[in-house]
Structure 1
Amino acid sequence: MDVFASDASPFYSLSHMLEGYDCPAILVSVDYQILATNAHYRTEFGVVEVTNKPRCFEVSHGYAVPCDEAGEDCPLSAVQQTGHKERVLHIHQTPRGKEHVDVEMLPIHDQQGELLFFVELLRAVSVASAENITSALVGSSKKFNQMLEKVTRVSRSEASVLLLGESGSGKELVAHAIHQSSTRANNALVTLECAGLTDSLFESELFGHVKGAFTGANNHRVGLVEQANGGTLFLDEIGDVPLSMQVKLLRLIETGSFRPVGSSSVKHTDFRLVCATHKNLLAMVENGEFRQDLYYRINVFPIYIPPLRERQDDLPLLISTLLTRLSERKEYHLTDSALQTLKQHNFPGNIRELRNILNRAIVLTDTNLIERRTIEECLTIDSELSQSSSTALLSSSASRENKTSNAQQDWPDLKTAEKNYLSDLMSQHQNDKAKVAAIAGISLRSLYRKLES
């Protein structure tokens, strides 16, 4: 029972006020002492014996000093400096382990404006995990937390989001997290991969078409923007949208109206827009390759997705998570030397590359312990493929006359290695093509083509 939960307490009205919040809340003194907690807090994080005058940083982090003295941001300290409410993302110790928590600190002043107490509101971030593998997003490094804080801030708004990051860094997972944390989570998240689409195909995919609109249009087709009504539309690799289609996309975003291909009827849709790209859109604008008005329309709230090389502290957690997801029947672990080998790798393919490496390691190892030599063998595969590719390109540029013959000599080994790798995945995962395509980071269509070639 809280020490301030009686009518005799001078803080009864303040502690009772905490029950008015629909999330975990605590009352904190200016010297970090937890004075009271509400029922939501006790349910979510456990009972705190406030009679022992515990300090918030001791309970939530296990620190002996305030957060800002332990290398983290401290919302209480920030409020004391600014005089108004502050918000920060923290990793808290909970009965379930370490979890990401969105912390909002509200100051309480007396009539003279003197700071008396703080109300701290704590909302768990369910789309990410700091310690376990229950969420799609996992990590606890500073760069990851900075990214996640922006995700939690923008999710509840209707602002358009532009995700910026290298291929394989997890932009699609972040898009899913934004949707799941939004007020539109109960409706659809619809994804359009913009890369490789022609003008006509892009328009048909996005807006749909009516029967007979063009050769091969044998049926009416509902477009993705109509499917996204009430939910979220995710345009992956927005930088690849054909220039001629960008004006139609801009009109859709600004008015919510569109016409299916071949139709004279105008339709309306309401969606939240999330875009992603690995390209420098601003440079494309300057080169005339991307419309400036569209750029500023989609770049309302940009979020940088850090590459894996900037998240070295997350590598052990990511490895553990991926190994668990890749193998449903057997538990795998890396030796310390194997982990050190991976830490020295630059990961140009980011998390997608790490997943591939670990999947190869599972195939190549004979035990549940993955050793350094196995990891080195997995890394060598990419190196050999890269060298084969470079050799083919050099041979091609050295002699135009020998271009075709050189390519035929160099590339079969690469294709064979790739096909063998995919075949191994198919065997390991009981010919589940959808799962194998996801593991390999390719589309289902590409998987069929590569297996049949």
Structure 2
Amino acid sequence: MPDPTALLAFIDALPDPHIVCDAGYRIVHANRAYLDRFGDGRDVRGRFCYEVSHHYPRPCNRCGESCPLSDSLVSGKRERVVHLHHTPRGEEYVDIALTPIPGDDGGYRYFVERMSPLAAGRDIQGDSLIGRSPAFRHMLERLARVAPSDETVLLQGASGTGKELVAKALHAASRRAEKPFVTVDCTGLPENLIDSELFGHEKGAFTGAVLRQTGLVEAANGGTLFLDEIGDMPLAMQSKLLRLLETGTYRRLGSTEWRRADVRIVSATHHLLARRVEEGRFRADLYYRLSTFPLYLPPLSERREDIPLLAEALLARSHPDCRFSPAALARLTSHAFPGNIRELRNIATRCCLLSGNGLIDEALIEEALSSAPGPRRDSDTPPPPTTGLKRSEQARALGISERTLYRRLKQAAQP
């Protein structure tokens, strides 16, 4: 194996936080960058890595988490994992890359861990990605892998799961972080204007075009273009978007000049795009270009242990004078939240407005839930009966969109 003295001197010279552990999980060395960021200047040598990083009494893999060191002992290879690490500023997500160092006996004597603070887990414009659940951590770990690249990402998840916030996190953790982040709402643009909005137009391109206009693609040059609800984009525009993805070129409306755009495309939808492809409502070639890296955002029903964290964070951000009682948090955790984080935010706001002293108790939660629009969907309440048709089939039979059908169902359920 390498000379231990030379190895430790090399680690000391690195600008990123590094520690060296032995096969028994004890820290034998930590460089200055680690001590400054995670150790508050205190010496951690001789302590167990899981004790320092997570305050666990035993290795991470025996506390319900993945452990790169134990994985490396089995695989003999480099391992990576995203962990929630204790710091002097509180808990912080870090991307850990562990490299085993072979010993003279054929085994592994040392393990070097590099810890990179995860930009995607930090506050972004006053918001942050918050969670501890396995489903959330899996999503965040995949986000950390794809963020530094320029690959297209397709965010898939139900309405209210925070797709735009995740898109901003992808941008913040990319090499384009200092460049523009531009959002296009594909549901809010009329079909006859979306071409002009995306690619811009020349003066006189159509009636009312009295000036040349820069499109959103050009505005996002060098940065990230976020196409929200891409499943609702008209077919006529999908072919032009496909050309942009394949060639990096586009034309302003009314121009014959091809222009180049350096943008990363991140798209999002609550639709199952594969099904829309089968129905002929979405181009298959565009679907495959957009979904180079699909990223699933779990609903709150799959991450119930995160509900108290999210609820208290929402209060701290917008209503710092309010607080939940333990019983209120327990009641929130039992709620199904079909509207996901958006619904949780509304309930927190409603409770603060109803509270007279800033304390939100279980009774106040019940009152806020009973005044919520739409059918009750608590975990102990069965969903309303259906006709046996899927919602998309119901909408087609009525000749309306799925979103319109959903809105009408909510209106009909109100007293």
TM-score with structure 1 setting the length: 0.79
1:337 aligns with one of 327, 331, 350: 327
Which residue of structure 2 aligns with residue 30 of structure 1?
Answer: 23
Shift of 1:11: 2.3
User: What amino acid sits opposite 1:107 in the alignment?
Assistant: P
How far apart in 1 are the matches of 2:24 and 2:331? Answer: 46
Which residue of structure 2 aligns with residue 366 of structure 1?
Answer: 356
By percentage of residues, which structure has more helix? Answer: 1
1:311 aligned onto 2:303: yes
Kept after mapping to 2: 8 A contact 1:102/1:123: yes
Query: Which consecutive residues of structure 2, in runs of 5 or more, have no partner in the other structure?
Result: 377-383, 385-407
User: What amino acid sits opposite 2:155 in the alignment?
Assistant: L
Kept after mapping to 2: 8 A contact 1:127/1:135: no
User: What amino acid sits opposite 1:86 in the alignment?
Assistant: E
Larger of the two Rg values belongs to structure: 1
Which residue of structure 2 aligns with residue 83 of structure 1?
Answer: 76
Which residue of structure 2 aligns with residue 174 of structure 1?
Answer: 166
How far apart in 2 are the matches of 1:135 and 1:26? Answer: 31
**Could you list the per-position Cα deviations for residues 183-224 of structure 1 after superposition, in whole angstroms to 9, with x for gaps in the alignment?**
000100111010143332211111011121112222211001
Q: Map 1:335-414 to 2 at 5 A.
A: 335-383=325-373
**Could you list the per-position Cα deviations for residues 211-252 of structure 1 after superposition, in whole angstroms to 9, with x for gaps in the alignment?**
211122222110011111110111001111111111111001
Q: What is the aligned-residue identity percentage?
A: 47
1:65 aligned onto 2:58: yes
Which residue of structure 1 aligns with residue 317 of structure 2?
Answer: 325
User: What amino acid sits opposite 1:14 in the alignment?
Assistant: L
**How large is the Cα RMSD of the aligned pairs?**
2.3
How far apart in 2 are the matches of 1:345 and 1:64? Answer: 33
User: What amino acid sits opposite 2:236 in the alignment?
Assistant: S
How far apart in 2 are the matches of 1:117 and 1:206? Answer: 53
Q: Secondary structure at the match of 2:192?
A: helix
How far apart in 1 are the matches of 2:363 and 2:44? Answer: 53
1:16 aligned onto 2:9: yes
Moved over 6 A (4+): none
Which residue of structure 2 aligns with residue 403 of structure 1?
Answer: none
Q: Secondary structure at the match of 1:91?
A: strand
1:228 aligns with one of 220, 229, 233: 220
How far apart in 2 are the matches of 1:102 and 1:255? Answer: 33
2:264 aligns with one of 272, 276, 284: 272
Q: Map 1:254-273 to 2 at 5 A.
A: 254-273=246-265
Shift of 1:100: 1.0
Q: Map 1:94-243 to 2 at 5 A.
A: 94-110=87-103, 113-128=106-121, 135-243=127-235
How far apart in 2 are the matches of 1:127 and 1:370? Answer: 31
Kept after mapping to 2: 8 A contact 1:128/1:139: no
User: What amino acid sits opposite 1:69 in the alignment?
Assistant: R
User: What amino acid sits opposite 1:193 in the alignment?
Assistant: D
How far apart in 2 are the matches of 1:50 and 1:312? Answer: 35
* 1:134/1:38 CA distance change after superposition, 3 Å: farther
Which residue of structure 2 aligns with residue 430 of structure 1?
Answer: none
Q: Secondary structure at the match of 1:42?
A: helix
Q: Which has the higher contact order (CA 8 A, sep 6+)?
A: 2
Shift of 1:386: 5.0
Q: Map 1:280-295 to 2 at 5 A.
A: 280-295=272-287
Q: Secondary structure at the match of 1:209?
A: coil
Shift of 1:48: 5.0
**Could you list the per-position Cα deviations for residues 267-294 of structure 1 after superposition, in whole angstroms to 9, with x for gaps in the alignment?**
1110111110110001111111111111
Kept after mapping to 2: 8 A contact 1:256/1:270: yes
How far apart in 2 are the matches of 1:114 and 1:155? Answer: 34
Which residue of structure 1 aligns with residue 236 of structure 2?
Answer: 244
Query: Which consecutive residues of structure 1, in runs of 5 or more, have no partner in the other structure?
Result: 1-9, 391-410, 418-453
Kept after mapping to 1: 8 A contact 2:44/2:52: no
